[in-house]
Amino acid sequence: MAKFVLAGSADCPYFAKAEFVADYLAKNLPDFKIHKIMQLPQDWEQWLQNICLTNGWKHKTSPIVWRELVNRGGKGILLGGFNDFLDYAQGYYGLTADMNTQRMLNIAEENLKTKQELMEEEAYNKLLIKPYEIWITGALNPTVMNVIPTLVSGNLLGEYTEISINLLDISDSGNILHGFCLEIFDMAWPLVRKITMHYNLKGAFVNAQLIIILDDIDNDSRQPIEERHEELAERCKYYGRLIERSAKPSVRVLVAGNSIVNLKTYFIMQNAPSVPRYNFVAVASRLEGEARSLLARKLDVTPLDISNITVWGNISRTIFIDLNRARVHRFESATWGPPTYSRPVLEVLHDRQWIEKEFLPMVYERKSLIERRYKHPLGISTACQLVSVLHSWYHDSPPGEILSLGVISEGQFGIPPDVIFSMPVRFCSGNWVVQTQIKINEEAKEKLNKIASELILEKKLIYIPPSPPPVESKSFPEYLQLENEESVPVDTLDQELLLEDKESTLLVDQELPLETEESIPLVTEEEQPLSEIEESFPIVPEEEEAPSENEESVPIVTEEEQPPLEDESVPVDDKQ
């Protein structure tokens, strides 16, 4: 059985007559199959050129007919044009077609009208399919450029879900973020419907379905650390009000960073009361990954061989790493078993002094030490942990996997309610579930209560200067040295780095510095005054809101002086 393909311009009368013959043969011959391709007149020549180039054919007029062997596969066999098809029909099937010129023209006109209507209907239906709105704040954070490829790949939200990316960073004057958006645009990902830049909070989080908060304090600012923390907290309160007003009720909010992560999550959640509490999480899995890496190095295994570590507490300040349930696989010892066999970490790790005095400080300092050593802000590790949490959130946790995640406490494990606290959770049916079946001893409960008291004070914006625990070992191991580098000895380097950190916070904020921001009033809706926030909330300076002259010719539209809910954006389709 053979299938014929008939292609032509919608306004071609010869295509109309060939179509008439093909329909007659298909209706009367059970083994005759016809597939018709109709192109608009303005698209026909380019389409014909491409199809001939692909198949190595030579043909210049409408229509074109080729034959495909359905049961054998392979490329089609060119039959020719209008006259070639009629000769084939007459010689092989004994069919002749009598159609006057006027009728051919009428059918061609009808074909063109039908094709145009189908194109309009397709465009309208495409507009009805709204893209999935993703908002990322702190868009200049190096984590963003590592997490976006996964968001748009189709593995997270589905291979047919189109995405709208909204990048918000109030500290940027436009040049850096603009270049970043151009880079995303040039990748031509098929699922990216549009990319929008935002330099202020006008219309922020409109129709948002997923929000990733990456804001951190400005490390280059000369303000006291207390004021910077309070400023960031006020910004997150305002984020919550914007989410309440503009985002979808089912929006999911993921908070990460180096500064007051629990507190940021809490203030956003408290100011968006219509959004379910189960839709707010704070990411603690980066600390979990660092702890696994250090234990793996100590036991001479890979980080993948360490499991069941739980990070409790205040993610960016005081944590408690529970190793009572931690297991190690493929550990070389007298006892050996299959790949699924594991042993308790505390059973095989006999260096108790290292666990009690050195392990936790090394986890605290690991990220900042690496950043200063290589003078490069880290973003890959945080991005990977964000992707891992999002994948479990949208597709449920794999069997046996437990994540450390900052969620709202409801009194589990004796933790006071109404605080964001890192606990062991699993995702089921799109919601997180605290694993209350896990048993903890009294000593652990006491530590958790102390951390909870710290979080309660933080909620009142009472700044608690952290006191780092003593570090008695090398917290910058030799395996982080560059192989061919002539550097100072590891012991000397560690001492210098640790002396620098003596008076700094416990978890040093080492994200990429943002530009110094000035404070000007926010523009808010009349029915929702925010006078308390407007006086201290930092917004990009007025002279920096207007984009540069070079931005006018770029296909990505920036957000300027517009009313809320009317952010300009660039459809990816317009690029074509």
- Which of 197-234 are b and which e, b meaning 16 or more Cβ less than 10 Å from the residue's Cβ? bbbbbbbbbbbbbbbbbbbbbbbebeeebeebbbbbbb
Strands 403-408 and 2-9: unpaired
Q: Is 393 helix (H, G, I), strand (E, B) or coil?
A: helix
More confident call, 316 vs 391: 391
pLDDT digits (tens, 9 = 90+) for 46-66: 999 999 998 889 999 999 999
The predicted structure's pLDDT at residue 486: 38
Confidence of residue 74 (pLDDT cuts 50, 70, 90): low
Q: For residue 241, what pLDDT is reported? A: 94
Residue 434: per-residue pLDDT: 93
In the chain, domain spans = 2-125, 128-281, 284-462
pLDDT of 455 > 70? The answer is yes
pLDDT of residue 25: 86
Average pLDDT score over residue span 411-418: 90
Least confident of 179-183, 324-328, 522-526: 522-526
Residue 229 pLDDT > 70 = yes
Least confident range of 145-159, 319-333, 451-465, 520-534: 520-534
Answer whether residue 39 shows pLDDT above 70: yes
Residue 574 pLDDT exceeds 80 = no
Residue with the larger pLDDT of the pair 237 and 376: 237
Q: Which range among 195-209, 238-252, 454-468 has the greatest average pLDDT? A: 238-252
**Mean pLDDT, residues 88-96 taken together:** 81
The whole-angstrom separation of Cα 57 and Cα 7 is 14
pLDDT above 70 for 565: no
More confident: 192 or 486: 192
**Most confidently modeled range among 289-298, 387-396, 487-496:** 387-396
Does the pTM of the predicted model rise above 0.75?
no
Kindly tell me if the per-residue pLDDT of 1 is higher than 80: no
Q: Which CATH number fits domain 2-125: 1.20.120, 3.40.50, 3.40.30, 1.10.3470?
A: 3.40.30
What is the spatial distance between Cα 221 and Cα 113, in angstroms, rounded to a whole number?
A: 64
Q: Does 508 score more than 70 pLDDT?
A: no
How many degrees, rounded to 5, is the angle at CA 298 between CA 366 and CA 310? 65
Spatial separation of the C-alpha atoms in residues 415 and 448, rounded to whole Å: 7
More confident residue, 171 or 87: 87
Choose between 193 and 265: higher pLDDT. Answer: 265
What is 363-385 written as a DSSP string? HHHHHHHHHHHHT----HHHHHH
Q: Where are the alpha helices (DSSP H) in 380-422?
A: 380-395
What is the CATH number that goes with domain 284-462?
3.90.110.10
| Topology agreement, domain 2-125 and domain 128-281 | no
Check: CB of residue 421 under 8 Å from CB of residue 449: no
With 50 as the cut, is the pLDDT of residue 538 above it? no
Position 72 scores a pLDDT of 54
Higher pLDDT, 502 or 326: 326
State what percent of residues in the chain have pLDDT above 70: 76
3-state secondary structure 293-316: HHHHHHHCCCHHHEECCEEEECCC
Query: Hey, what CATH class is 128-281 in?
Result: alpha beta
**CA-closest candidate to residue 77, choices 89, 93, 65, 86:** 65
Residue 527 has pLDDT above 90, yes or no: no
The pLDDT score that the predictor gives to residue 393 is 94
For the residues 392-417, what does the mean pLDDT come to? Answer: 90
* CA distances, 410 to each of 277, 318, 418, 533 (Å): 11, 20, 6, 29
